[in-house]
A and B are shown apart, each in its own frame.
Chain A
């Protein structure tokens, strides 16, 4: 059972990193529009 928690936690963290990547991209594009 604990294996599932560990794998889910790892997956969640990497999804967060992908979200951070999107945020960085949006931050750059918004400045460009301005």
Chain B
């Protein structure tokens, strides 16, 4: 039954890829299509309001500067709201201003699509902040990631000097993709008993006569974009394990598909832009094969339970249910864990800190690779970055100038790709080492031994990959952790985005060279294998020593 559940969800996902990918392709292809009639009027009104006079294409520098400036404005506005929320309207529960370093961490967390939460939603944010800061940035950060991915695809597949207009891409991402889909999913979640109200918390009397404050609020509308935008920040502290956020196995499947479908359809979109759908399916196949290995690993590890408890005579037939919801069981918890860290959403329906060591290794490894479907847009960009690296390495081995989609890959592109690849392990491993060397860092570790290493490593890996989930035993709401994870999130988001837009800007100006019998093909199974091999080898070379010290050592001590 478990396996059947997994097969059905994966099957539905695969069936969604082509229709959804076709729709997304038409949204950004700039060819007239039926969606223009539906959304064109709204978009023209928005362009008028924001004063957008020219919808012409931008050079990569102008595109990057536009998205940076847009993000700066949103960060400033959000920081102001969080610091003033105590005196703003929409605060029926009387929540005060958020502390300075926590506000710094929170605005960075949401503008970078990370949604690392060092606060608890029920007690840390007013309804106004939940909507005007959290939900607003859930839309804008997802739209930014999507726009950059499309611009990168244009750089690889078109010819000229421009890679699209950021503002039109950004607006279209909202009007044609995220707002319609979020509205639809919100209505479905409300029908399935997820709360959507502006009423204050409900005060209830318990059977023992005590009073209890039960948090409610505009949950469904946040829940939909939380997953659609691969954001992951929950309305409640317990995230999608909370029965008001994720009440049933059916809502669980809806949430899994809504965070997985858009990242999974992007390789198909890339294939459409490239004029060769096989290119897209090869990338999709590489992502899916990596994903299936990770899913099988976490499912098997959790199914076999915790060896220590098993040896004490505990009933192992249910698997390791510590930190999991009975209504989801092992299969739906494992699938959620594998998808939320593959698509770098970071929402959780079970507590990752209580996964078995090998089970916990899976989300950690998926975030370290950062290409297994990946977050909104950036996952595809990262995978294509590895595809160019794979072509470069293959070219070196056979002594040919490497070409990708007919463009010659030169040292300038490889220099930028090397920066984008190497910044990821650097901003994970360096802060992890600093945290171990300082009292401020060590003070947050709640588990001695190897699991404590995993906790710290997970926190920075989650920040760098803009995931946002955590091994939540870590006591991370301190100025040290707020500041260091904030900086890691920023570097993890913008350095690779800027570098890859620069690569797109360089490639778009190149003439394509005609394909010959000696051209290294990138649209067959052989290249898919080389691509997976490149990802695994680079990932293993950079992260294996750290992983051995954490989850693998822990696994060996409890066998």
Residues of chain A contacted by B487 (CB below 8 angstroms): 13
Known contacts A3-B100, A27-B416, A21 near B410 by CB under 8 Å: no
Are B103 and A27 within 8 A (Cβ)?
A: no
Does more than half of chain B's interface fall in helix, strand or loop, or is it mixed?
helix
**Segment 1-34 of A: residues with Cβ below 8 Å from B:** 2-3, 5-7, 9-10, 13-14, 17-18, 20-21, 24-25, 27-28, 31-32
- In this assembly, does B75 line the interface, its C-beta being within 8 Å of a C-beta of chain A? yes
Are B415 and A27 within 8 A (Cβ)?
A: yes
- The minimal Cβ–Cβ distance linking A16 to chain B, given in whole angstroms, is 9
Interface 0/1 of B61-84, CB less than 8 Å to A: 100110010011001100100010
Q: How far, in whole Å, are A5 and B103 apart by their CA atoms in the complex?
A: 12
Are B495 and A20 within 8 A (Cβ)?
A: yes
- In this assembly, does B490 line the interface, its C-beta being within 8 Å of a C-beta of chain A? yes
Which of B71, B100, B499 is close to A24, meaning CB atoms less than 8 Å apart?
A: B499
Are B100 and A6 within 8 A (Cβ)?
A: yes
Residues of chain A contacted by B495 (CB below 8 angstroms): 17, 20
- The minimal Cβ–Cβ distance linking A13 to chain B, given in whole angstroms, is 6
- The minimal Cβ–Cβ distance linking A26 to chain B, given in whole angstroms, is 10
- In this assembly, does B559 line the interface, its C-beta being within 8 Å of a C-beta of chain A? no
Q: How far, in whole Å, are A3 and B101 apart by their CA atoms in the complex?
A: 8
Residues of chain A contacted by B502 (CB below 8 angstroms): 21, 24-25, 27-28
Are B416 and A24 within 8 A (Cβ)?
A: yes
Q: How far, in whole Å, are A13 and B505 apart by their CA atoms in the complex?
A: 23
Known contacts A6-B79, A24-B499, A31-B412, A17 near B100 by CB under 8 Å: no
Are B79 and A10 within 8 A (Cβ)?
A: yes
- The minimal Cβ–Cβ distance linking A15 to chain B, given in whole angstroms, is 10
Residues of chain A contacted by B416 (CB below 8 angstroms): 24, 27-28
Are B104 and A18 within 8 A (Cβ)?
A: no
Please indicate which of the listed interface residues A5, A6, A20, A24 has the most CB atoms of chain B within 10 Å of its own CB: A24
- The minimal Cβ–Cβ distance linking B179 to chain A, given in whole angstroms, is 27
Residues of B in contact with A, size category:
20 to 34
- In this assembly, does B494 line the interface, its C-beta being within 8 Å of a C-beta of chain A? yes
Q: How far, in whole Å, are A20 and B107 apart by their CA atoms in the complex?
A: 22
- In this assembly, does B448 line the interface, its C-beta being within 8 Å of a C-beta of chain A? no
Are B65 and A6 within 8 A (Cβ)?
A: no
Residues of chain B contacted by A18 (CB below 8 angstroms): 65, 68
Which of A10, A24, A28 is close to B75, meaning CB atoms less than 8 Å apart?
A: A10
Q: How far, in whole Å, are A2 and B99 apart by their CA atoms in the complex?
A: 10
Which of B61, B83, B104, B490 is close to A21, meaning CB atoms less than 8 Å apart?
A: B61
Are A25 and B68 within 8 A (Cβ)?
A: no
Nearest to A11 among chain B residues (CB) is B72
Are A31 and B100 within 8 A (Cβ)?
A: no
Nearest to B99 among chain A residues (CB) is A2
The interface of chain B, by Cβ under 8 A from chain A, is 61, 64-65, 68, 71-72, 75-76, 79, 83, 100-101, 103-104, 107-108, 410-412, 415-416, 487, 490, 494-495, 498-499, 502, 505-506
8 A–B contact pairs at CB < 8 A? A3-B100, A5-B100, A20-B494, A21-B65, A21-B68, A25-B502, A27-B415, A28-B506
